[in-house]
Amino acid sequence: MLPDEGHHHSAFAAAVLDPERAVPEGVARANGRDPLEAFNVYRNNVVVSLAEALKSAFPVTSQLLGEGLQRALMADFARAHPPSSPIMSAYGAEFPHYLADHPATKARPFLADIARLERLKLDSYHAADAPVLDGSVLGRVPPEALAVGRLVPHPAMHLLSSAFPTASIFGLEQAAIAGQDVDAARSQINMATGEHALVTRPLFDVVVQPIALGAASFLRACGDGADFTGAVDAALEADPAFDLQQTLALALSSGSFSGFDPQLET
């Protein structure tokens, strides 16, 4: 008895994602041969293409997992969490959470933060185009106007605060992928220190760098809509050693802002 049309894709989709299920009724091969191996081509295609999309979205995480674990986890994740949208550059939003919970990676909790950082890097790469605020423009704003105005965050600017030295590990492993010898640098990483990572896109390539607590608090406050004074206050509260000049220089050169809004009252 052949399945009713309405259920055809459901059975096919479920069977593609679950190797334990039987080949759906009605699926056949020429000359009455067994369709299983032919159907398995679709199973393989789906899981492999999803796993490869994950690998290219998470290259540093993949490097840290090692090939065997990376293959196993990404295939498992793909079967359990297929994408909800055809935009594959957005695929894998739940992957950091999956790593945080998975028995094979729970003991290395920094991996989830590395994966989060890679998602932010992708978000930055595809973010809307906007001008980058230039230091000379900001330098012409009188102090009293600066104080009540608002630095507008660039759409490609993102922050990640981590309990681990995530930005440093990320930079190291990127260098390793590029073929550099990082053994000495690896041994110097202190896993007990937290870090704040700034992700920006000053031109078209994404830059990831560790920044100080005060700088991260300042930028986060700007991102939350605080005016200049409010952002400075938030930074000083988080870190009394907050250095405004240094932070502004870093923020401007990294392309963290797209403009300055004087917020004039009308």
Partner 1 sequence: MMNTLPMITDAQAGVGFKPQHANAILKGDHEISWFEVHPENYMGEGGMPHRLLTELRQHYGLSLHGVGLSIGGQTPLNKEHLARLAALNARYEPDLFSEHLAWSSHDEGYLNDLLPLPYTQATLDLVCDHIDEVQEAIGRPILLENPSTYVVFEQSQMSETNFLAAIARRTGCGLLLDVNNVFVSATNHQTSAEVYLAAFPVHHVGEIHLAGHASVTLSDGAELLIDAHDRAVSDPVWALYEALIGRIGPRPTLVEWDNDVPDFPILAHEAAQAQAVLRRHDPLLGRRHVA
Interface ranges with partner 1 (CB under 8 A):
2, 5-6, 8-10, 12-14, 16-17, 26-31, 33-35, 37-39, 41-42, 45-46, 49-50, 53, 81-89, 124-130, 155-156, 201, 204-205
Q: Which is nearer to partner 1, 24 or 149 (CB)?
A: 24
Cα–Cα distance measured from residue 24 to residue 11, given in angstroms and rounded to the nearest whole number: 6
Please state the closest distance from residue 5 (CB atom) to partner 1, in A. 5
Q: Which is nearer to partner 1, 64 or 199 (CB)?
A: 199
Please state the closest distance from residue 200 (CB atom) to partner 1, in A. 12
Please state the closest distance from residue 146 (CB atom) to partner 1, in A. 28
Q: Which is nearer to partner 1, 35 or 109 (CB)?
A: 35
Please state the closest distance from residue 74 (CB atom) to partner 1, in A. 13
Q: Which is nearer to partner 1, 6 or 66 (CB)?
A: 6
Q: Degrees (nearest 5) of the Cα angle 233, 236, 240? A: 160
Q: Which is nearer to partner 1, 130 or 141 (CB)?
A: 130
Tell me how crowded residue 11 is: count the other CB atoms within 10 A of its CB. 17
Question: Three-class SS string for 55-86?
Answer: HHHCHHHHHHHCHHHHHHHHHHHHHHCCCCCC
